[in-house]
Structure 1
Amino acid sequence: MRDILEAVAAGDLSPAAAEARLAGYATTDAGRFDAARETRRGVPEAILADVKTPAETATLAAAAVESTGRAILTRASQAHVDAVAEELDDAVELDRDERARTLVAHAPDFEPPSLDAAVGIVTGGTSDAEAAGEAAVIAREMGASVARVEDVGVAHLGRVLDHLDELRAADVLVVAAGREGALPTVVAGLVDTPVIGLPVSTGYGHGGDGEAALSGMLQSCTVLSVVNVDAGFVAGAQAGLVARAVSQARGDADTDENADTDEGAVSGSDSD
């Protein structure tokens, strides 16, 4: 604690960053930012913008960058983006995905995580791109490599089969679909990797707004997990957690293999 206090006194650490280290969160006029979430849970904290004013969002984004080196905004309008850009230092790198309605800010010294694992993001149609894009951003920010397979809805199964090798190459899949939500069920019957169904609020009439898609995925005959309607952040975070476990397992396997190789080399030299 003394080191933190001395760093604040010397001007090397801001009060918000010091509070984040001591309490795990940074307090602002717009609310508290959970700076310790990624360390505690493995999932980065994100700022849901569409229920906040641009000013509130900008304040929280500044606290996020100050305390963790990064800010992630979801459901962000252009007004939110403009407010954040005005609030943050010019050296902060901004990455805006208009379709996914996300904004990611990285401080110059931020070191992004890197995982030895691939997440596949699959959409039934163009209408699913917003929720799927949000999932892709979160999985990527958790360190996974992300591959997109777009517009392979079940109205023509040949579109899915054309990408079967890509789907099977992923370590985990997020499959977004609206209307009756059949695509995740079909994909889960073709691959041996975990599938996360992401129902999307497309469709109309009876079962519209994602209700039929959610119900269909919950009733899936093939094995998959399902998140809430349009919950791209949750789907991406779940995929990121799976990717992290896969990456850790690969690292452990490489360590064991190297140890076995070293042991064999030593044994060989002894026998000589």
Structure 2
Amino acid sequence: MRELLEAVAAGELSPTEAEARLAGYVTTDAGRFDAAREHRRGAPEGILAEGKTPAEVATLATAALDSTGRAIVTRVAAADVAAVEEVVDESVDVVHDERASTLVARRADYEPPRLDATAAIVTGGTADAAVAGEAATVLEAMGATVERIDDVGVAHLGRILDHLDALRAADVLVVAAGREGALPTVVAGLVDTPVIGVPVSTGYGHGGDGAAALSGMLQSCTVLSVVNVDAGFVAGTQAGLVARAVSDARAGAE
């Protein structure tokens, strides 16, 4: 502890960084940021912007940057992005994916992780792109190589079969689909890699809110894992943990 205090006194360590090392989290007026999650869990903490004011989002993003060098924010609105950009230093790199509603900010001295593993993100249709993009954001943040295979729904099986080689080459698959949610079941029957199904709230009428897609994936006769409706961040994180295990195994085999 004395070394931490001396580092703070010398200006080598910020109070936020010191708090994160001591407690494992940082306390702000907007809530607590779990700065130790990536070390403890292997997956980074994400800041959900929904339900928070832009000022609260900016405060938590600042805490993330100060304690880990990076901030990952999901479900952001334009006001959230503007609030973050207003408070961060010009040296901070801010990347906003408007379609995925995500924001990733990195300090200039932040060194991103690199995994020797590839994750393919597959969508049934263009309407699934937002949820798929959220999964891609966290997978890239965890260091995996991400490949996109889009608009290959089961209405024409030839579309997914045309990408069979890429599907089988990936180390883990995230498959997002709305409507009846059949695509993950089909894909899981074609590959020997883990498949994570993401039901998407696209469609209309009975079950069009993602309920039909969720039920279909849960009843899949081919083996796959399923996350909640529109849970792109959760699917991306799970896929990232698989990718990290694959990468570690490859490193150990060398």
Normalising to structure 1: TM-score of the pair?
Answer: 0.93
The answer on 1:79 being equivalent to 2:79 is yes
Show the counterpart of 1:227: 227
The CA deviation at 1:203 is 1.2
d(CA) in 2 for partners of 1:215, 1:204: 15
Q: For 1:166 and 1:136, locate their aligned partners in 2 and report how far apart those are by CA, in whole Å.
A: 17
Letter in 1 for 2:249: A
Cα distance in 2, alignment partners of residues 77 and 163 from structure 1: 34
Aligned residue identity for 2:211: E
Residue in structure 1 matched with residue 93 of structure 2 by the alignment: 93
SS of residue matched to 2:201 = coil
Residue by residue over 1:178-212, the C-alpha shift from the partner in whole angstroms, topping out at 9 and shown as x without a partner, is: 00000000000001100000000011111110000
1:11 to partner: Cα distance = 1.4
Larger Cα-atom Rg: 1
Letter in 1 for 2:4: I
* Aligned counterparts, 1:71-220, within 5 A: 71-220=71-220
Gaps of 5+ in 1: 255-272
Q: Which moved more, 1:130-139 or 1:7-16?
A: 7-16
Extract unaligned runs of 5+ from structure 2.
none
How many residues are matched? Answer: 254
Once the two structures are aligned, what percentage of the paired residues are identical?
76
CA-atom RMSD in angstroms: 0.5
Distance in 1 between residues matched to 2:111 and 2:94, nearest whole Å: 15
Structure 1, residues 208-250: CA drift from partner, whole Å, max 9, x if none? Answer: 1000000000000000000000000000000000000000110
Q: Which runs of 4+ in 1 moved over 3 A?
A: none
Q: Secondary structure at the match of 1:72?
A: strand
Shift of 1:12: 1.4
**C-alpha separation between the residues in 2 aligned to 1:187 and 1:249?**
25
Find the aligned partners of 1:100 and 1:208 in 2 and give their Cα distance. Answer: 20
Q: Distance in 2 between matches of 1:231 and 1:175?
A: 12
Structure 2 Cα separation of the partners of residues 107 and 51 of structure 1:
26
Measured in 1, the distance between the counterparts of 2:29 and 2:193 equals 44
One-letter identity of the residue aligned with 1:253: A
Where does residue 62 of structure 2 map in the other structure? 62
Partner residue in 2 for 1:251: 251
Q: State the shift of 1:13 in Å.
A: 1.1
- 1:261 match: none
- Alpha-carbon shift at residue 111 of structure 1 (Å): 0.4
Give the Cα separation in 2 of the matches to 1:149 and 1:236.
15
SS at match of 2:158: helix
Amino acid at match of 1:227: V
